[in-house]
Structure 1
């Protein structure tokens, strides 16, 4: 899914802050507001008490203004008081994404993670191992559905890849183990850009891999859009008194810097979680870094976006009320 940049401002209107996801977006939109208001940097400096050189760093994307200075700037530029929260939320969103993008896992954890993934791939079928060299991901979006039993019922995946070589025909989705999940019973449902036939997963140790086979071989440099689902219904062991606790985490694992990741988790109306947050771990068993708290929207969805995920685990965690 491509994201449109900040919309242009017409006279008498304020720019839309909902399209702001990066420091550059933030700076461009704030500068657009300044120009629409007819203020030079010197005039804006007089109205806000902020040095002209400092304002210049904010409006050129060299840094984010602190919250108290942002309020001064947008008020001076005519933003009504009831719209200040939109600017504050845009700033918080940009800062959270920047933190997730700029954080770097310790070298030892990164090396260990890369070794773990390499070991996993080495045990899989030759064609699946080769998929890592056949294609390179450009974008990934996932929509996870949590069922009434508080476990994953389905995951819808949208992904764009580019072929590294002529004849590229697949990439791989790897499922990591989860308490109570029979990964081999998860069903792949191919969609746009995939072969219609069901694909048999391959297992190695505790992990399961699904080859996502394209509907036609690709040429080197060709981009390809795929959509598919993983159906978890029937893959969970029956609930008993000794059953493990219900799911409270979803995420993606990367062994190197990766392209943009969008993640949505949709909860059923029967059970609503608490303490929902975006998290990062340098290794699956490493300590949690809390990126930001997440609110559920009207569809009971939690949403996160990471512009350039670094090596490690990026995801969403929550708790269930007692």
Structure 2
């Protein structure tokens, strides 16, 4: 599967980049439930790749396509070099993070703090596009930060991105408060402003705009697609993956093929888990992403308990996963 074969289809629905969550094991697991959703890596910082040589951070499974990599950084030359590494490895898209509010990101002068420096962001994405060639470069941003007036800041930011040649942007429909709120609080406390993001689609009809933030069900995804070009789902897709991804291909992408059942998804992970454990990996590195598979179903509590208590133990393998299955 290759994103470029049907780019507009994949852009309709994506799973957000989430630090410590959307690693390669998570993405492989999610891909079993949806053939079409666009999957994003955790944010990878450009300095880690360019200065630190940590190219292993770009490893992924070929089965993950369509898959996009998200970069963090604020130096155009460094981001261009990092983009080159991503393109060499075959990613379908390179995304620039202009939305993460963590202290670590602020200290590196990138993430949401870049909403205050749209001209610098424009320089960054211009350099990235030159390095990316035919691979799309995109941006994920907030509606503003701190005391900025979002209704003024966001359209100006989008204009500068459009002038820099960016054709697709995902907007997290909350401000980021860089002073006074933790990263966790920034995911919940700032109010959502869907109407503002909807208005941006009317103002910028030529930009492919996706909305992110607070999307908790496929019903909400379908409702937002009435206003927007695409929808990005974050925590709900992680904590209730089957509820979000299980019917997505049929409902969002009009693919009549049946999705795997929850239990079929488990057994489809068997070979992957076996290879990982045989190579010296820990079962828990994979199963931590699978804990929500049976959310809301009979046996869900036991499934989580058996995996949480046993997957970290020496020698744990797929037999434990089978034992945990709801009965």
Larger relative helix fraction? 2
Q: Which has the higher strand share?
A: 1
Q: TM-score, normalization: structure 2?
A: 0.26
Pick the structure with greater CA Rg: 1
TM-score normalized by the length of structure 1: 0.26
